[in-house]
Amino acid sequence: MVRFDRCAAPVLLLLAAALVGASPASAGKGKKPGADIPKDGGALEPGVTPTTPTPTPPPPTPAGKGKRPGVHPPKDGGAPGPGVTPTTPTPGPGTFQPPVDIPKDGGVLDPGPKPPTPTPPSEPKGWPHSILTGTATNCARNPLPHEVLVYRDSNFAGSCAALTPGFYPYAANFLVGNDAISAIKVGSAVRARIFKDPVFAGDWNAYAPGTMAAGLGGFNDRISSIRVEPASRSQLCDDLREGEIALFENSYLRGDCVVLPGDESYANAESMGIENDSISSMRNNSARRLVAFWHPSFSQGGIELPPHSELDSLPKGGFLSEGLDDDISSIQMAP
């Protein structure tokens, strides 16, 4: 009969457990299968050279991240070595580089020659002196700045005509009839000088710019000729410009007067714009000679006025005494 010692029981149990194996409750604990850890902690035996394990390559980098394939920046940042002159890279084939020309003046463009300053038009010489005829129009209005409206009846009634600057030596020139004008309107840039007789003869009166005369008093139905003059020029003809002449009805540059260009000639009283055989003084402010004649069309010359001179009083006495006062009928401007 075998006797079991109480002290030997635990030993027997351990041996049994080693023979049978670990219990299911101990599964998952202890050593992993295939992993044997040497008792010396993995230390190699003396005389054996250790080997470096080959690193496992990293997984491929996703597209668009990390370094580009084949691009390896140098460790020195690409700086050339000592003694090496840097070179400018040459553009590859197909690369276009537009030429860049930087002017020496810093980019300021040459404006080139300045265009010539236009010369302002020269002012006309003399007063407007063409012989004109009026224009029939609707006169139930105010005149334009350079118009004079003449009416057959007072209070701006009846037939009418529009006159512009110039000479109207006869009643036929202003359309409403001789000794028929009874009202007048004057534009803001002109004045109207009216005469009782044809060709600027007889008594006269001047209507200022802007005049609206519904009745003409002593000149009612008695107007036979008219001059429409520029209001910008003096009514006294004392503002002569270079190249002009002035003819005066009275001595000492007074009375009715007219300013004409000094580079034309005037064959009769109609073209001179002043009464025939009435001139008593003259002024020549041109570079030409003024030659006065007794008769129209430059017939029977009598006196010459040099350039840039004036004659306050013409000599009297008529043809036989070579006097021309109140006897001039034409004027010629000569070189």
* Residue 281: strand pairing partners: 248
| Cα–Cα dist 43/35, whole Å | 15
3-state secondary structure of 296: helix
Architecture of domain 135-230: Sandwich (2.60)
Chain CA centroid to CA 15, Å: 121
Strand 289-295 relative to strand 330-334, pairing? antiparallel
Chain CA centroid to CA 58, Å: 75
pTM greater than 0.75: no
CATH H-level, domain 244-334: superfamily:
Crystallins (2.60.20.10)
Question: Backbone phi, then psi, for 330, in 5-degree steps?
Answer: -160, 155
pLDDT > 60? residue 41:
no
Chain CA centroid to CA 159, Å: 45
DSSP letter assigned to residue 25: G
Encoded amino acid at 301, one letter: G
pLDDT > 50? residue 205:
yes
Please state, rounded to an integer, the average pLDDT across all residues of the chain.
80
Nearest residue to 285 via CA among 247, 321, 320, 314: 247
User: Residue 20: which region, alpha, beta or left (left: phi > 0; alpha: psi -120 to 50)?
Assistant: alpha
| Cα–Cα dist 270/297, whole Å | 12
Per-residue pLDDT reduced to its tens digit, 275-327: 999 999 999 999 999 999 999 999 988 789 999 999 999 987 665 446 788 89
What's the pLDDT at 72? 53
pLDDT > 60? residue 43:
no
pLDDT > 90? residue 245:
yes
CB 280 within 8 A of CB 303: no
What's the pLDDT at 163? 98
| Cα–Cα dist 191/287, whole Å | 29
Give ranges for CATH 2.60.20.10 in the chain.
135-230, 244-334
Max CA-CA distance within the chain? 207
Per-residue pLDDT reduced to its tens digit, 55-108: 555 555 555 444 555 545 555 555 555 555 555 555 555 555 556 565 565 665
Cα angle value 185/186/187 (rounded, 5°): 125
